Amino acid sequence: MSNVINVKTKEVLFPVAEDLYGVFYEDINRAGDGGIYPEMIRNRSFEDSLVPDGCTVDPEQKIYVNRGGWPGAFNHGEGMDDWAEKVPYTSIPGWYAKGADIKLTEEDSLNEKRRCALIADFKENGKIYNIGYAGVPVKNGDTYKFYTFIKNSADFTLSVSLEGKDGNIYAKKDINVTKSDVWQRIDANLNANGEDYDGIIALSADKNVKVIVGFTSLMPEKTYMNHGLRTDIVEMLKGLSPKFMRYPGGCIVEGLSKETAMRFPNTIGPVWERPSHSLMWHYRTTNGFGYHEFLQLCEDLNMEPMYVCNCGMSCQARVGEYFEENTVDEILQETLDALEYAMGSVDTKFGAMRAKAGHPEPFNVKYLEIGNENFGKEYNERYVKFYEALKKAYPDVIYISNTHTERDGLPTEYVDEHYYSAPEFFLENEDRFDSYDRNAPFIFLGEYAVNGGNTIASMECAMAEAVFLAGVERNQDIVKLTAYAPLFQNSDYTAWKPNLIVFDNHQIYGIPSYHAIAMMGANRGKEVVKTHIETQMQPPIYSGLPGLMCEKEGLTFKNAKVNGKPVDISRILYGAVEEKDGIYAMKQVKSSHEFTGKSDVWNKAFGDFIRSRRHPGALSEDDAMWAVFGEEYLEEYTFEIDLKFEKDNPVTLSVWNCHPDTDAGCNEPKDYDWHFGSVRRQNVRIADGKAATKMRHFFNPNAEIDEVEFEIDYSEYNTFKIVADHYGYTCYVNDREIQSRKHKLHPAVYTVATTDEENIIVKLINASQTDETAKLSFDCDIKEEYEVQVLAAIPESQNSMENKLNVSPVTKNYRCDGKDIEYVLPAYSVNILKVKRYE
């Protein structure tokens, strides 16, 4: 089928939002130390094995647990289970010894911000060494800058060397050190004469000597613009043409406890004076990529800074704590201090600190977000307190709220909305912002990504996200900012998938979504113009098994059929089913579901945590009874079953139950088995004589539900029937329709167009599994030559370290007749046509 697109350049809708495409930074997957901040020594402050403040650990130190009961991986400071399994055990993460004894001391640290130091008792020619972030990488000809702070019991020669695991020495520096009972700084430049990405850095002594090490660092001499950041990572970031950066998060802003919340004073000053910070992503950071580095990077890449402050709450998704009033007041003052640091004159306290750090000229902070993913009454109270104080002090800053606080009568400028879902969601919601009130606050699409479905970090995901972004671009009079999340993934320390940019200690690549967003962000135009498209509308495709769930004992059933043929139960997810004479009864039993993706102690702790929670609308695993029928995943089917139950026993008929193999999402133990959280499905819930196709959600327990009343004889068996097809599903009782859900059809081809003084930029996304012909006509004369940049691949295609550009854009030039264009859009593709018009 041909897709007809009329581009009306003379009908300007509105200017483009100048900062629409930005990036969201959070220290997740070791994105900071060992990542964009290229520190090569892991655990350089020796504090990784300290238990996160506000948490307890199990006897084996496998996990920590916060005060709300949320558990996370600890492994004596090594972090996630799979990270710990890759390295030999050591009492001080990252550090090992040969011919020396090492231990920690908390009684003699470098300064008041350092909580411990390392004591090394060297024997003659003994050494201590660090294995870095999955190895200490060295490149032939490069120089590396080392420094440390030490005290030592005698004069000795300290040898600092870069070595391979096989014993090769790539660089070495001998330093004569005099006895000192006060801290002295030792510096050395190491020039590498070989290449090894799996090396170590070693410190050795020529005689018996006791050395206390307070802090260490090894950094490459070459950094981006000599500003201390890893060049290839910053260049990949630059490739996105980002207009702003959101910093420092993300959930780490809130913290997993009051003590681990992000605090501005801990992110400035010399790095050896910044307190280490235990993150909820299972590792400790020294905040090398701190507030000043963030502001400097924004200046270097011409990005607007967006600072996110804690507002007196820890992570609500992890049973958050509400801080006492004096702590809230402290954090508010710290936020004012952060703005003064960035924008104050050198005559102010914090402006002088900025100047001392090497930047006397003020930076600019354009945006400030108050809190992260916070909500509810407690958030509203803190939000308005922060907003009023900050707006009075810095009226030109744009302030962002986490929820639609304007609906509660609060002053709101921008609202941050987050969307993580399967590809179908993004395809079906490309018009989500069409109906938003233009008199309401502007929207910041602060976090979005396809993180579920059949694949992640694939072409299918990039295509679906591009569809959503095309819808955003058509609504950038109301949606002003967007940022994919998360941004960075150290592939050796992964706590969350997917992430836009993937790296290890020496190489890097972007996932397909990176390339799609880079294409969208680099081709903006100046004005959005009207387009009209004629294209085929198509339904989403779901497949799976029919299912049955109840919440109390007493449900019995018989005569289950799929497409008219008897069907058996293929899997019982919760509860049990007893059969007698062809009648089946649902029975409650304690949940046997076990998380299996992590260590046994973490699996159990996480399972206990999940089962202890009572979110509105959520069903306890120990109360639920749930079974699915048949073996074959079907897209279209009719499921019939005779049910008998009491009116007050909620019963759910679940449609298209399926368990994708996607390895995505957060870092908790995985549901490799079928489970509430791992099974995709749609539901018809029957309760108190009403049928609903939606259920309440944790973040919106008071959402209105579309319920339909019906009557049946509860003393008898009644035949329930689900007819599922590509266009939706309908529920019948005794052949009488009681509820239905129609899927939203989505276009085969999506489009948005912008113009500048010279170009017409048309973005076309083909969401179809076949090539589509696009016929474009313009209301002006165009030049014969035009350029097309295209990103296309089969849906499951991904990039990798071995094939970094497997899915990447290709640019080609074409010719047309000077009026119309006919172009073939490859299946599953993102296309940007740049057409020059005559004056």
* Mean pLDDT, residues 643-662 taken together: 93
Note the pLDDT of residue 614: 44
pLDDT in tens, 492-510: 999 999 999 999 999 999 9
Phi, psi of 395 (to 5 degrees): -65, -20
pLDDT in tens, 426-458: 998 999 999 999 999 999 999 999 998 888 999
Could you give the CA distance from residue 492 to residue 135 in angstroms, rounded to a whole number?
10
Q: Is the pLDDT of residue 481 over 90?
A: yes
Note the pLDDT of residue 33: 98
pLDDT in tens, 242-282: 999 999 999 999 999 999 999 999 999 999 999 999 999 99
Could you give the CA distance from residue 146 to residue 654 in angstroms, rounded to a whole number?
60
* Mean pLDDT, residues 109-130 taken together: 97
**Percent with pLDDT over 90 in the chain:** 87
**Percent with pLDDT over 70 in the chain:** 97
**698 band by pLDDT with thresholds 50, 70 and 90:** very low
pLDDT in tens, 163-175: 998 889 999 999 9
Could you give the CA distance from residue 378 to residue 320 in angstroms, rounded to a whole number?
11
Least confident interval from 152-156, 461-465, 607-611:
607-611
Could you give the CA distance from residue 808 to residue 519 in angstroms, rounded to a whole number?
10
Least confident interval from 306-320, 362-376, 432-446, 591-605:
591-605
Q: Is the pLDDT of residue 182 over 80?
A: yes
pLDDT in tens, 587-596: 998 877 778 8
3-state secondary structure of 798: strand
Q: Are 374 and 254 in contact (CB under 8 A)?
A: yes
Note the pLDDT of residue 815: 94
**706 band by pLDDT with thresholds 50, 70 and 90:** confident
Q: How far is CA 660 from the centre of its chain?
A: 19
Note the pLDDT of residue 1: 61
* Mean pLDDT, residues 6-12 taken together: 97
* Mean pLDDT, residues 382-411 taken together: 98
**615 band by pLDDT with thresholds 50, 70 and 90:** very low
Please report the DSSP string for 414-481 in residue order. EEEEEEEE-HHHHHHTTTTTTTS-TTSPEEEEEEEEE--SS-SSBHHHHHHHHHHHHHHHTTTTTEEE
Q: Are 772 and 824 in contact (CB under 8 A)?
A: yes
Note the pLDDT of residue 621: 66
Q: Is the pLDDT of residue 38 over 80?
A: yes
Tokens encoding 373: 């993913």
**839 band by pLDDT with thresholds 50, 70 and 90:** low
pLDDT in tens, 678-689: 888 999 999 989
Least confident interval from 206-215, 345-354, 557-566, 736-745:
736-745
